[in-house]
Structure 1
């Protein structure tokens, strides 16, 4: 029961993003691996988009967060399941390593001066990866199952 409640909470948080952004123009985005997502919202202030598909049968949500960025920059997307604001957020981070490989990992944001070092977060995350294509960085991940 708690697992279902947490999944519903996560889906509600993601769905609420639709109501704070303009019309969805991101559904036609051609992902490099051919991935398809059922929902998305454009985040104009960040020049970014969040794409997701929920899977109630196994209490997971597959996401892709993409943002305009230079090859030497970084991106992060975070969710705060316990409140609002930055502190307490659970983040997914991506950047291009100095050796040219793309790196994606999770990190908690416990303060306004977080370490940003790779660390497990309170939300289960699997299949995290990142790519840099067409002047955008994209983080892919599966969130859940939540217990």
Structure 2
């Protein structure tokens, strides 16, 4: 809603990039900006999250479920002032971060920048399953000895997942399962109501 957007609408991006929608994410100070293209089922995204220069941030989509395991992620970090983006699939909750192709199409390869104490990751993704409703995840953590180290496993780092509808912009957080269940049962009952209407 409007509250979710208030903090992110004023954001500006390099290269004259603009995005139609944005959500201030509930944790880690992160925001997601995107434009959804219904014609080909893709979304141009910009994910921005605060971090020290010696940290990393990541954003992704989990096509197979909710939570981290199974997520296809973009991870931005820097070394010697050069910012790079790694794409990897988190096969477990303690993954090896090998640079690998994602399970969905990425028509425009990801890029990232670091400015003003925050990373911004830019990418275009083909939304998996050709549906606008996706389980998204995001994270932030430290770099140690030039390598991406595990993020904290407490507090906000455990709440950084939500289902997002790229068409409507509505989202439901993954941290409160009771709220999530209520939303699910609501949508099921509205679905049944609309089916009855069609009969």
What range describes the TM-score normalised by the shorter chain of this pair?
0.7 to 0.9
Flag structure 2 segments of 5+ consecutive residues without an equivalent: 131-199
Flag structure 1 segments of 5+ consecutive residues without an equivalent: 1-17
Q: Is the counterpart of residue 121 in structure 1 residue 102 in structure 2?
A: yes
Report which of the two has the higher share of helix: 2
Q: Tell me the residue number matched to 1:10.
A: none
Q: Tell me the residue number matched to 1:100.
A: 81
Q: After superposition, where does 1:5-24 map in structure 2 within 5 Å? A: 22-24=3-5
1:42-63 deviation digits (Å, cap 9, x = unpaired): 0131101001101122221100
Q: Secondary structure at the match of 2:11?
A: coil
- Of 71, 82, 95, the residue aligned with 2:64 is 82
Distance in 1, matches of 2:125 and 2:102, equals 11
Distance in 2, matches of 1:127 and 1:60, equals 13
Report 1 or 2 for greater relative contact order, CA contacts < 8 Å, sequence distance ≥ 6.
1
- TM-score (normalizing by structure 1): 0.79
Larger radius of gyration: 2
Q: Tell me the residue number matched to 1:40.
A: 22
1:62-113 deviation digits (Å, cap 9, x = unpaired): 000000011121100121111111111111100002x321101210001011
- Of 90, 93, 112, the residue aligned with 2:93 is 112
